[in-house]
């Protein structure tokens, strides 16, 4: 059900990705979790790299992070208990990459097994959402064919439902996210296959950065303003039309997770395309220049509030979660987790206020 805009209030709890609190090489996971809890976050998006590092802290092999051994399951339960003791919950595990659209049957089976191997560990974490990024491969071994991708998502949903049926636990869900450098790189192109998959436990993951990096932004624009269109008025008008369509098209209960981030406007004379032609052109901007919402003082410039307003207008009631990557998170400074957790909460609170002023519909 579409909610009227402007919204009168926003009750969604705040979440944050583990990698948005510091790099695993410099900052122990427990330290970052405590920083998140102290700042007021209620949901944690657990990245694979951090889970692997946590296993290694406990003397286990991080290269086998999804093997359901007794030792791995014990540590997973310990991590889940730690998160809950801090007043938080693990929202999802991610990222599952390059799964759907694979042509070779054996390779496809192996990719699907990489998803289902997570299920026992997810139970130990006490989380129910597996996060699937849209395939970014461009070789002949994959296809983006609508029917094939929809069929693959449906089968993954069935595998998750079968696991839940067998162990009697709550339903496991598959969330599908379009990446700005992938073939399915818009909310509409991911929504069409989620809808066609027609499974209650298959839904969307929407990320403001990935939406805006396709529909609003261009870090390589020689004009320097960082937008696709020449004027802000035109840029906002086109984006607003898309966000209005999102709000009117996607049911809120089919959005399984929402991620929010801005990014800094960069100097296109210095921000050159990747030298490696196989690297997606938007990947360096995503990996090293994201910001928390409403950080205009640090160079943020994208209208995250429009994306957030559209998502909330669908009736989405899940966490408003941050997924931010940038160079500052890699510093060895022990204050990084606390300072970034505070920046994250401050940004979300400012964003919440900005969304309340949006007239989208």
In a domain, 24, yes or no: yes
Q: Please state whether beta strands 255-260 and 262-263 pair in parallel, antiparallel, or not at all (unpaired).
A: unpaired
For residue 2, name the pLDDT band (cuts at 50, 70, 90): low
pLDDT in tens, 219-253: 999 999 999 999 999 999 999 999 999 999 999 99
In a domain, 31, yes or no: yes
The pLDDT of residue 278 is: 81
For residue 273, name the pLDDT band (cuts at 50, 70, 90): confident
Q: Does residue 6 have a pLDDT over 80?
A: no
**Percent of the chain at pLDDT above 70?**
98
CATH number at residue 58: 3.20.20.150
Average pLDDT over residues 62-87: 98
In a domain, 147, yes or no: yes
In a domain, 361, yes or no: no
Residue (of 44, 41, 16, 28) closest to 325 by Cα position: 16
CB atoms near residue 281 (< 10 Å)? 13
pLDDT in tens, 100-115: 999 999 999 999 999 9
Q: How many domains does the chain have?
A: 1
- Any residues with CB less than 8 A from the CB of 292 and at least 6 apart, and which? 261, 262, 300, 322, 324, 340, 343, 344, 346, 347, 348
Q: Does residue 60 have a pLDDT over 90?
A: yes
Residue (of 323, 281, 289, 266) closest to 91 by Cα position: 323
pLDDT in tens, 179-228: 999 888 999 999 999 999 999 999 999 999 999 999 999 999 999 999 99
The pLDDT of residue 138 is: 87
Residues of the domain holding 206: 14-355
In a domain, 4, yes or no: no
Q: Does residue 46 have a pLDDT over 70?
A: yes
In a domain, 166, yes or no: yes
The chain-wide mean pLDDT, for the chain, equals: 95
135 by DSSP, 3-state: which?
coil
Residue (of 246, 102, 120, 96) closest to 175 by Cα position: 96
In a domain, 239, yes or no: yes
In a domain, 172, yes or no: yes
Per-position DSSP letters for 204-273, written without gaps between them: EEEEHHHHHHHHTB-TT-TTSS-BSSSSHHHHHHHHHHHHHHHHHHS-GGGEEEEEE-EEB---TTTSPP
The pLDDT of residue 5 is: 63
Q: Which of 44-58, 73-87, 138-152, 273-287 has the lowest mean pLDDT?
A: 273-287
């Amino acid at each position: 059900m579409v909610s009227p805009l402007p919204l009168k209030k926003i009750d969604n709890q705040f979440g944050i990705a583990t990698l948005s609190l510091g790099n695993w090489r410099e900052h122990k996971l427990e330290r970052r979790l405590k920083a998140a809890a102290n700042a007021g976050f209620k949901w944690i998006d657990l990245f694979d790299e951090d889970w692997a590092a946590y296993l290694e802290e406990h003397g286990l092999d991080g290269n086998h992070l999804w093997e359901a051994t007794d030792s791995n399951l014990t540590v997973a339960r310990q991590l889940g208990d730690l998160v809950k003791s801090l007043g938080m919950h693990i929202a999802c595990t991610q990222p599952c990459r390059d799964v759907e659209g694979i042509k070779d049957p054996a390779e496809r089976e192996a990719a699907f097994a990489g998803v289902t191997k997570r299920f026992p560990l997810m139970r130990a974490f006490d989380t129910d959402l597996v996060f699937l990024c849209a395939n970014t491969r461009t070789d002949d071994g994959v296809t983006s064919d609508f029917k094939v991708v929809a069929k693959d998502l449906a089968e993954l949903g069935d595998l998750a439902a079968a696991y839940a049926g067998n162990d009697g636990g709550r339903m496991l869900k598959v969330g599908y996210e379009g990446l700005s450098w992938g073939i399915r790189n818009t909310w509409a192109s991911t929504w069409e296959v989620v809808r066609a998959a027609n499974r209650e436990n298959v839904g969307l993951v929407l990320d403001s950065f990935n939406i805006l990096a396709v529909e609003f932004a261009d870090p390589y624009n020689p004009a320097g303003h960082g937008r696709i269109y020449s004027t802000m008025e035109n840029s906002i008008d086109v984006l607003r039309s898309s966000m209005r369509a999102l709000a009117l098209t996607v049911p809120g209960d089919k959005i399984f997770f929402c991620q929010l981030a801005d990014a800094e406007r960069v100097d296109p004379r210095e921000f050159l395309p990747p030298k490696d032609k196989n690297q997606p052109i938007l990947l360096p901007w995503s990996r090293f220049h994201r910001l928390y919402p409403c950080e205009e003082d640090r160079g943020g410039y994208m209208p995250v509030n429009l994306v957030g307003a559209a998502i909330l207008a669908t009736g989405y009631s899940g966490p408003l979660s941050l997924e931010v990557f940038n160079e500052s998170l890699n510093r060895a400074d022990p204050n990084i987790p606390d300072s970034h957790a505070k920046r994250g909460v401050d940004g979300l609170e400012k964003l919440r206020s900005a969304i309340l002023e949006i007239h989208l519909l």
